[in-house]
């Protein structure tokens, strides 16, 4: 059977002020009918640009397809005139995007948006198109499609919107569906539903699917074939089974090992040193060589080719599997020191109960009044946090898990006293915080700090890194003189793995991972005892996340810090936490030791949550 | 005897500011130096800066003025019965004195640029006593670079006199707008609640009163007397060195008061967004005082909006002055202003043959001020933005 889509040596380049960026640099693959290919890789590896090239939507005028063919049923679509491409887009190739909240037009009804696509491509009458749209919504398992079709997007949840996007994409029975991070913005339980839906429909309609994701675990169970991308190229491609069972490329291996889980919780995570190379300036030879732990002398001189290994469909691009290369002298190891695996084994915490409590939260409630009318009469309350009891012992980590909207971030901010609690008490080292005024709160802020999710918006772009880190010192430790402050800043920068001369630069000069480190340095410099990490790693790539988690673990052990980890990622919970509190609709529904809660969950919701988490098996 | 007007202070302040910037840019290192290094790489911005500097120079030369003592025929200085020197009622600026010829050499009426004859036919008596209707020769042929206006005044000189008015209106109003807009906008956005309600109430009220009406009533109360430009009127003859009642000054003030609301609204919206950003939250977690959060974290991150809005508004302000002059409450007719020139051009364009050079003069001078202001404003904004500013330096990492 001929493949639906065949990509041959695709090269998509961008003209940038720094030179030509080779975003996609020689990618080849094909997808059969009813088959799913997953392209996996970290940000900047060129996976999204591959998708945009396929649907012929490379951002103009800077981007262009420099070379290669994209054969849709044997027809090269790169050479078609624009009006022919338009006929293919949405009809033969459809795409769903990451952010369901912004991919629907808020001023048009759902129906009119689906019907528009159908009428445009299928030439159906308004009535027939509407009937077809209702049928599609029904297939998406959306409730009461006949009334739903006349609703506006803002009345629907993210998961429902994503289903509507899929309905829209599949309405014209496309031959290829491109799903670019379709579930990244959604909760795990919804993620699972969406992926199952795509899988069912694909089998039913015989659509080929290209799934773009950064989440390796998501791939297993949802894809037939996997292509691992790095530096604009596919470095390894194999069936989904083989890639997890028998990964060959060092990059794939590192990616798999950098995932936090219960099995490696007593050691440091494997990290990939360095950063992803700039697409304007790829290194010579193997693009991964500089970061590879098994680099050989010849690696950075000669570029490896993608060749079959073991099986016909397991392709890998690495000199390790090139017998000719390995027989020569250039196969000598490049003499890299392998970093020893960090030992994070937990101290026997049988005495945990006797250790002093750093934080104790009792009956914490945060209610927002709903005000209506001219006189702003309170007509009701949004119970964002509705009675929470948790406690953290010195040196231990409590994870607060839950889906978006369950109130976990609000809890963190209320503990931090960034928003006022409606009721309940927050005791930090035995001292009640909720009744303190701003001035009395000041010394307590030294003890408790918060690390934020977004490494981009958490640093003021107009202040140099040194100034950012100094801010806390100036405010909380005003006795220090200039020199002492500068010394402390240099010291903490070294501690988080940055060099002290970086304090003279602006935040935008750093990568996401480095910015996270700056965020951590800013907090560590005031020497707190409790750190609240609000999704501190969820915006980062897995290899960078591994570095940050290692850093957090090592400073915890060194200084006896306590963490409150707010996250939705259960892998991180397994790896980091001693205790877990599962939140649902503003309440903690299950609370206990990590092994117990995750191993033997009692509540129905916890079980559902655990089941939904994609795992590598 | 020197005369200093209230608006001269604005011009002096602008110069003090330019001087300060220049001085700190010449200092070895520091922020201004870094910004300057960035701007220096942009040739268009440098040209714009030079043009702006020329305008500022003209404005300054037109803001330093003094009254000459009246000379008697016998060459002695005239004195009053109280034995005080009598000064002329005209306070002439450096500009007036430099372009003395253009100011004094007036013709009878319209003449085209660089023409040697009048633009209007008139009855001329020839030597033999017969009269013919023809274009009379000019008194000062081929000297009027942009021709002359209805009463024979040099258009180029009027346009030069308009520079000071334009610069003062633009910067003076901005000086009023920026503090109002930033302080109120940031406070409303950051504090929210009652303070926000109050500030919003004030600016919504202000914005809902028709601006022209407010300006008219204000000008009728404060700006109807006092220095109108050109002559020190009889009423002011006895005034001392400083003349506070300057119509242009009141105009700047009221235009500032009526036009801070737009910028304030933009700043409030941006502040609402910024205050939720994590770096502001982080600063709060460090117990940084609220004023310091606003100064360090909010204000620097809204300055690009302030700069863009003000540069765009600059041309609007110069034009607003034209509108106000039209209804008679702008700067006085004696003070040269592009607004006045455009007003008279309206009638001149309607006559046949068309007199186009007044309009051209005003347009060319305004254009040559507003365009470089825009270009230079953009360059400054880029230079102040660390993202753009440091990219070239750290290209490698």
Chain B residues whose beta carbon lies within 8 Å of the beta carbon of residue A18:
395
pLDDT digits 0-9 by tens, B268-315? 999 999 998 889 999 999 889 999 999 999 999 998 888 888 888 877
Q: Order of strands, edge to edge, in the sheet holding A377-393?
A: A377-393, A357-372, A423-428, A431-432
Answer whether residue A12 shows pLDDT above 90.
Answer: yes
Which of B 285-304 lie inside 8 A of A, CB atoms? Answer: 285-289, 296-297, 300-301
Confidence band of B377 (pLDDT split at 50, 70, 90): confident
Give CA angle at B323 (B318, B328), nearest 5°.
Answer: 120
Contact A506 B386 (CB under 8 A): yes
Going through A73-138 in order, the beta strands assigned E by DSSP cover: 75-76, 93-96
Q: What is the pLDDT of residues B81-138, one digit of tens each?
A: 877 777 777 778 888 888 888 888 888 888 888 888 888 888 888 888 888 888 888 8
Beta strands at A176-180 and B87-93: parallel, antiparallel or unpaired = unpaired
Which of the four pLDDT bands, split at 50, 70 and 90, describes residue A351? low
Mean pLDDT score, A94-105: 85
CA A228 to chain B, closest CA, distance in angstroms equals 25
Residue A332 has pLDDT above 90, yes or no: no
- Partner-chain contact A476 B287, CB within 8 Å: yes
State the smallest CA–CA distance between residue B267 and chain A in angstroms. Answer: 17
Work out the average pLDDT over B57-78: 85
Confidence bin at A591 (pLDDT 50/70/90): very high
Closest CA to B35 of B390, B350, B397: B390
Q: Where are the alpha helices (DSSP H) in chain B?
A: 6-26, 31-40, 43-61, 94-98, 100-104, 155-191, 193-208, 211-222, 247-275, 278-285, 290-293, 303-326, 338-350, 357-384, 386-389
> Do A418 and B284 make contact, defined as CB atoms within 8 angstroms?
yes
> Chain A contacts of B397, Cβ < 8 Å?
509
A454 inside 8 A of chain B by CB: yes
Instruction: Band the pLDDT of B393: cuts 50, 70, 90.
Output: very low
Residues B304 and B363 in one domain: yes
Q: Domain tally for chain B?
A: 2
pTM: predicted TM-score of the whole model, two decimal places: 0.81
For residues B194 and B342, membership in a common domain is answered with yes
What CATH number did the domain enclosing B15 receive? 1.10.3720.10
Q: Which residues of B touch A509 (CB under 8 A)?
A: 390, 394, 397
Q: Is A69 on the interface with B (CB under 8 A)?
A: no
Q: Would you place residue B240 in the very low, low, confident or very high pLDDT band (cuts 50, 70, 90)?
A: low
Is the same domain home to B182 and B57?
Answer: yes
- Which of A185-194, B44-53, B127-136, B232-241 is modeled with the greatest confidence? B44-53
Residue of B281, B288, B397 lying closest to A471 (CB–CB): B288
pLDDT top residue among A38 and A335: A38
Nearest CA in chain B to A473: B286
- Whether residue A305 contacts residue A317, with contact meaning beta carbons closer than 8 Å, is answered with yes
Q: Mean pLDDT for chain B? A: 83
- Is the model's pLDDT at B391 over the cut of 60? no
Q: Are B275 and B187 in contact (CB under 8 A)?
A: no
Q: Pick from A452, A506, A508: which is nearest to B281 by CB?
A: A452
Same domain, yes or no, for B186 and B256?
A: yes
pLDDT in tens, A507-556: 888 888 888 889 999 999 999 999 999 988 887 888 888 888 999 998 99
Is residue B387 less than 8 Å (CB to CB) from chain A?
yes
- Residue B72 forms part of a structural domain: no
Are B363 and B162 in contact, with CB atoms under 8 Å apart? no
User: Do both B353 and B379 map to the same domain?
Assistant: yes
- Cβ atoms of residues A416 and A448 within 8 Å: yes
> So what's the ipTM on this one?
0.80
Tell me the three state secondary structure of residue A235.
Answer: strand
Are A195 and A613 contacting, i.e. CB atoms less than 8 angstroms apart? no
What does the pLDDT read at residue A266? 81
Q: Which residue of A has its CA nearest to B290?
A: A438
Residues B261 and B140 reside in one and the same domain: no
Average pLDDT of the residues in A490-500: 88
Dist CA A315 CA A159 (whole Å): 36
The half-sphere exposure of B299 on its side-chain side, counting CA atoms within 13 A, is 14
The answer to whether the Cα torsion of A21, A26, A30, A35 is positive or negative is negative
State the alpha helices, DSSP H only, in A375-502.
408-415, 438-445, 465-476, 482-495
Whether the CB-CB separation of B56 and B19 falls below 8 Å is answered with no
The span from the CA of B247 to the CA of B77, in Å, is 32
Q: Do B277 and A457 touch (CB under 8 A)?
A: yes
Place of tokens 């509540």: A603
Q: How many CB pairs under 8 A join A and B?
A: 70
Average pLDDT across chain A, whole number:
87
Chain A residues with CB under 8 Å of B289 CB are 475
Query: Scanning every residue of chain A, which has its alpha carbon at the shortest distance from the alpha carbon of B276?
Result: A457
A379 phi and psi angles, rounded to 5 deg = -105, -10
Average pLDDT over residues A586-613: 90
Of B93, B123, B152, the residue at which a domain comes to its end is: B152
- Regarding whether B160 and B291 lie in a shared domain, the answer is yes
Considering CB atoms only, which of A460, A475, A505 is closest to B287?
A475
Say what the pLDDT of residue B269 is: 94
* B338 assigned to some structural domain: yes
H helix intervals, A184-310 = 188-205, 216-219, 240-245, 250-257
Check residues A578 and B35 and name the one with the higher pLDDT. A578
Q: Do B282 and A452 touch (CB under 8 A)?
A: yes
Residue of B273, B279, B397 to mutate when probing chain A, most A C-beta within 10 A: B279
How large is the greatest C-alpha to C-alpha distance in chain B, in angstroms?
98
Using DSSP bridges, classify how beta strands A397-401 and A579-584 pair: parallel, antiparallel or unpaired.
parallel
**Average pLDDT rounded to a whole number, residues A114-124:** 88
Residue A260, helix vs strand vs coil: coil
What is the token pair recorded at A527?
């020497």
Of B285, B287, B386, the CB nearest to A461: B386
Closest CA–CA distance from residue B241 to any residue of chain A (Å) = 45
**Which of B278, B297, B392, B394 is the mutation pick for testing A, counting most A CBs within 10 A?**
B278
Is B123 in the same domain as B15?
no
How many CB atoms are closer than 10 A to CB B174?
25
| Per-residue confidence (pLDDT) for residue A363, from 0 to 100 | 92
Shortest CA gap A452–chain B (Å): 7
pLDDT tens digits, A267-320:
888 888 777 888 888 888 888 888 888 888 888 888 888 888 877 889 999 988
B277, B286, B394 ranked by CB distance to A472: nearest? B286
- Please report the residues numbered 151 through 170 in chain A whose beta carbons come closer than 8 angstroms to any beta carbon of chain B: none
CA atoms of A158 and A142, how far apart (whole Å)? 13
Q: Which residue of B has its CA nearest to A447?
A: B286
Q: Which domain holds residue B140?
A: 106-152
The closest CB to that of A475, out of B288, B301, B394, belongs to B288
pLDDT in tens, A173-230: 899 999 998 888 788 888 888 888 899 888 888 899 999 988 888 888 889 999 999 9
A 300-359 → B contacts, CB under 8 A: none
Closest partner CB to A454 (pick from B278, B286, B300): B278
pLDDT for B35: 79
Give A-chain residues touching B288 at CB under 8 angstroms.
Answer: 471, 475
Return the top range by mean pLDDT from A330-344, A602-616, B205-219, B268-282.
B268-282
User: Which residues on adjacent β-strands are paired with residue A556?
Assistant: none
Whether B11 and B134 map to the same domain: the answer is no
Ramachandran angles phi, psi of B111, nearest 5°: -145, 145
**DSSP readout, A332-363?**
SB--PPPPPPPB-PPP-GGGGGGSPEEEEEEE
Q: Which member of A461, A463, A508 has the closest CB to residue B296? A: A463
Compare CB distances from B390 to A450, A506, A522 and report the shortest one's residue.
Answer: A506
Are B243 and B217 members of one domain? yes
Residue A563: what pLDDT?
A: 94
pLDDT above 60: residue B79? yes
Residue A353 has pLDDT above 70, yes or no: no
Residue in A with minimal Cα distance to B298: A460
End residue of a domain, out of B130, B152, B174: B152
Give the list of residues 6+ apart from residue A527 with CB closer than 8 angstroms, or none.
Answer: A446, A559
Q: Which residues of A touch B286 (CB under 8 A)?
A: 445, 449, 471-472, 475-476, 526
Set of chain A residues whose Cβ sits within 8 Å of the Cβ of B284: 418
**What chain B residue is nearest to A520 in terms of C-alpha separation?**
B282
Cβ-Cβ contacts under 8 Å for B353 (sequence gap 6 or more): B119
Contact between B336 and B160 under an 8 Å Cβ cutoff? The reply is: yes
Whether the predicted pLDDT of B239 surpasses 60: no
Domain final residue pick, B135, B152, B169: B152
Structural domain contains residue B78? no
Q: Do A438 and B287 touch (CB under 8 A)?
A: yes
B392 has pLDDT over 60: no
Residues of chain B with Cβ-Cβ distance to A506 below 8 Å are 386-387, 390
pLDDT at residue B17, rounded to an integer: 87
Please list every residue in chain A whose beta carbon sits closer than 8 Å to the beta carbon of residue B282. Answer: 450, 452, 458, 519, 522
Residue A411, pLDDT > 90, answer yes
pLDDT, residue B382, reads 85
Does B184 fall in a domain?
A: yes
Are the CB atoms for A319 and A302 separated by under 8 Å?
yes
State the residue for tokens 């520079």.
Answer: B163
CA distance B346 to chain A (A): 45
Q: Does one domain contain both B339 and B380? A: yes
State whether B139 and B190 are in the same domain: no
Interface contact A416, partner B, CB < 8 A: yes
Alpha helix (H) residue ranges in A446-536: 465-476, 482-495, 512-524
Q: What percent of chain A has pLDDT over 70?
A: 97
pLDDT at B396: 33
| Lowest-pLDDT range of A245-254, A441-450, A598-607, B318-327 | B318-327
C-alpha A121/C-alpha A132 separation (Å) is 13
Would you say residue B89 lies in a domain? no
Residue B50: inside a domain, yes or no?
yes
Q: What local confidence, expressed as pLDDT, does residue B28 receive?
A: 65
What contacts A230, CB < 8 A, 6 or more positions away? Answer: A41, A42, A45, A251, A276, A287, A288
Give which of B55, B54, B21, B16 is closest to B39, Cα–Cα: B21
Q: How far is A451 from chain B (nearest CA, A)?
A: 8
Q: Tell me, yes or no, whether B96 lies in a domain.
A: no
A471 close contact with B: CB closer than 8 A: yes
**In 3-state terms, what secondary structure has residue A301?**
coil
Q: Select from A18, A471, A535 the residue whose CB has the most chain B CBs within 10 Å, as the one to mutate to test that interface.
A: A471
Looking at residue B334, what is its pLDDT?
67
Question: Between the CA of residue A168 and those of A90, A124, B336, B353, what are the distances in Å?
Answer: 9, 15, 65, 66
Q: Is A463 on the interface with B (CB under 8 A)?
A: yes
Which band of pLDDT confidence, cut at 50, 70 and 90, is reported for residue B21? Answer: confident
Q: CA torsion B121→B123→B126→B128, rounded to 10°?
A: 140
Whether pLDDT at B234 is above 60: no
Residue B266 has pLDDT above 80, yes or no: yes
| Residue B278 included in any domain | yes
Tell whether the model's pLDDT for residue A410 goes beyond 70: yes
């Amino acid at each position: 059977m001929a493949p639906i889509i065949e990509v041959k040596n695709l090269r998509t380049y961008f003209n940038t002020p720094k030179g030509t960026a080779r975003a996609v640099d020689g990618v080849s693959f094909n997808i059969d009918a009813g088959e799913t290919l997953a392209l996996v890789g970290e940000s900047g590896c060129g996976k999204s640009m591959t998708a945009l090239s396929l649907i012929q939507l490379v951002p103009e005028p800077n981007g262009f397809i420099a070379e290669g063919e994209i054969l849709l049923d044997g027809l090269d679509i790169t050479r078609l005139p624009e009006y022919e491409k338009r006929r293919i887009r949405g009809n033969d190739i459809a795409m769903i995007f990451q952010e369901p909240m912004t991919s629907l037009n808020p001023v048009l009804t759902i129906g009119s948006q689906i019907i528009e696509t159908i009428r445009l491509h299928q030439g159906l009458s308004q009535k027939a198109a509407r009937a077809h749209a209702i049928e599609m919504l029904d297939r998406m398992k959306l409730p009461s499609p006949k009334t739903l079709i006349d609703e506006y997007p803002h009345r629907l949840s993210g998961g429902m919107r994503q289903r509507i996007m899929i309905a829209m994409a599949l309405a014209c029975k496309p031959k290829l569906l491109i799903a670019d991070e379709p579930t990244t913005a959604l909760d795990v339980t919804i993620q699972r539903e969406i992926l199952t839906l795509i899988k069912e429909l694909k089998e039913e309609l015989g659509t080929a699917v290209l799934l773009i994701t950064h989440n390796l675990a998501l791939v297993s169970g949802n894809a037939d074939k996997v292509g691992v991308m790095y530096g604009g190229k596919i470095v390894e491609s194999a069936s989904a089974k083989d890639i997890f069972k028998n990964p060959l490329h060092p990059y794939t291996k590192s990616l798999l090992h950098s995932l936090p889980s219960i099995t490696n919780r007593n050691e440091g995570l494997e990290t990939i040193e360095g950063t992803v190379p700039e697409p304007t300036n790829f290194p010579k030879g193997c693009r991964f060589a500089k970061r590879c732990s098994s680099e050989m002398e010849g690696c950075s001189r000669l570029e490896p080719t993608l060749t079959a290994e073991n099986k016909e469909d397991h392709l890998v691009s690495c000199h390790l599997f090139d017998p000719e290369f390995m027989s020569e002298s250039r196969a000598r190891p490049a003499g890299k020191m392998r970093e020893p695996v960090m030992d994070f084994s937990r101290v026997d915490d049988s005495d945990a109960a006797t250790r002093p409590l750093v934080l104790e939260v009792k009956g914490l409630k945060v209610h927002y009044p709903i005000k209506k009318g001219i006189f702003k009469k309170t007509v009701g309350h949004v119970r964002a946090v509705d009675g929470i009891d948790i406690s953290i012992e010195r040196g231990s980590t409590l994870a607060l898990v839950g889906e978006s909207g369950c109130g976990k971030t609000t809890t963190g901010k209320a503990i931090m006293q960034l928003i006022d609690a409606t009721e309940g008490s927050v005791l930090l080292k035995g001292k009640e915080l909720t009744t303190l005024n701003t001035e009395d709160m000041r010394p307590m802020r030294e003890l408790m700090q918060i690390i934020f999710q977004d490494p981009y918006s958490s640093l003021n772009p107009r202040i140099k890194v040194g100034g950012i880190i100094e801010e806390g010192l100036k405010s909380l430790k005003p006795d220090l003189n200039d020199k002492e402050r500068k010394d402390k800043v240099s010291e903490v920068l070294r501690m988080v793995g940055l060099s002290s001369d970086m304090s003279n630069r602006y935040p935008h000069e750093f990568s996401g991972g480095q910015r996270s480190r700056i965020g951590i340095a800013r907090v560590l410099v005031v020497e707190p005892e409790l750190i609240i990490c609000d999704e501190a790693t969820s915006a980062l790539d897995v290899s960078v996340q591994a570095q940050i988690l290692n850093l957090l673990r090592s400073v915890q052990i060194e200084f006896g810090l306590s963490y409150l980890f707010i996250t939705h990622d259960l892998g991180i919970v397994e790896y980091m936490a001693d205790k877990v509190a599962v939140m649902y609709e503003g309440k903690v529904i299950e609370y206990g030791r990590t092994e117990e809660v995750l191993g033997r969950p009692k509540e129905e919701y916890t079980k559902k949550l655990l089941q939904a988490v994609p795992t590598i098996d | 005897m020197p005369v200093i007007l209230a608006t001269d202070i604005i011009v002096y302040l602008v110069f003090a500011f330019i001087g300060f910037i220049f001085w700190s840019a010449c200092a070895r290192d520091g922020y201004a130096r870094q910004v300057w290094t960035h701007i220096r790489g942009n040739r268009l911005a440098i040209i714009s800066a030079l043009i702006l500097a020329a305008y500022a120079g003209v404005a300054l030369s037109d803001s330093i003025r003094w009254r000459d003592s009246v000379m008697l025929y016998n060459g002695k200085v005239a004195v009053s019965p109280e034995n005080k020197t009598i000064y002329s009622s005209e306070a002439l600026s450096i500009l007036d004195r430099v372009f003395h010829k253009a100011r004094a050499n007036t013709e009878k009426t319209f003449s085209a640029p660089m023409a040697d004859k009048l633009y209007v036919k008139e009855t001329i008596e020839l030597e033999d006593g017969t009269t013919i209707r023809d274009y009379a020769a000019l008194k000062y042929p081929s000297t009027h670079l942009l021709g002359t206006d209805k009463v024979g005044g040099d258009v180029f000189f009027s346009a030069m006199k308009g520079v000071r008015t334009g610069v003062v209106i633009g910067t003076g109003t901005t000086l009023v707008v920026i503090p109002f807009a930033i302080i109120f906008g940031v406070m409303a956005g950051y504090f929210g609640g009652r303070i926000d309600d109050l500030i919003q109430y004030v600016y919504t009220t202000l914005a809902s009163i028709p601006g022209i009406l407010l300006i008219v009533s204000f000008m009728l109360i404060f700006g109807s007397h006092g220095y109108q430009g050109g002559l020190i009127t009889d009423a002011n003859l006895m005034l001392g060195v400083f003349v506070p009642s300057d119509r242009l000054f009141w105009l700047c003030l009221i235009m500032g008061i009526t036009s801070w609301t737009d910028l304030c609204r933009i700043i409030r919206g941006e502040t609402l967004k910024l205050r939720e950003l994590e770096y502001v939250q982080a600063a709060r977690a460090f117990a940084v005082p609220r004023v310091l959060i606003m100064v360090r974290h909010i204000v620097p991150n809204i300055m690009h909006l302030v700069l863009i809005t003000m540069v765009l508004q600059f041309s609007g302000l110069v034009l607003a002055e034209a509108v106000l002059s039209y209804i008679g409450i702008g700067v006085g007719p004696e003070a040269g202003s592009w607004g006045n020139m455009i007003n008279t051009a309206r009638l001149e364009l309607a006559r046949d043959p068309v007199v186009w050079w007044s309009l051209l003069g005003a347009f060319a001078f305004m254009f040559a001020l507003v365009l470089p202001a825009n270009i230079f404003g953009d360059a400054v904004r880029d230079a102040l933005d660390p993202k753009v500013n440091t990219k070239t330096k750290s290209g490698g990492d």
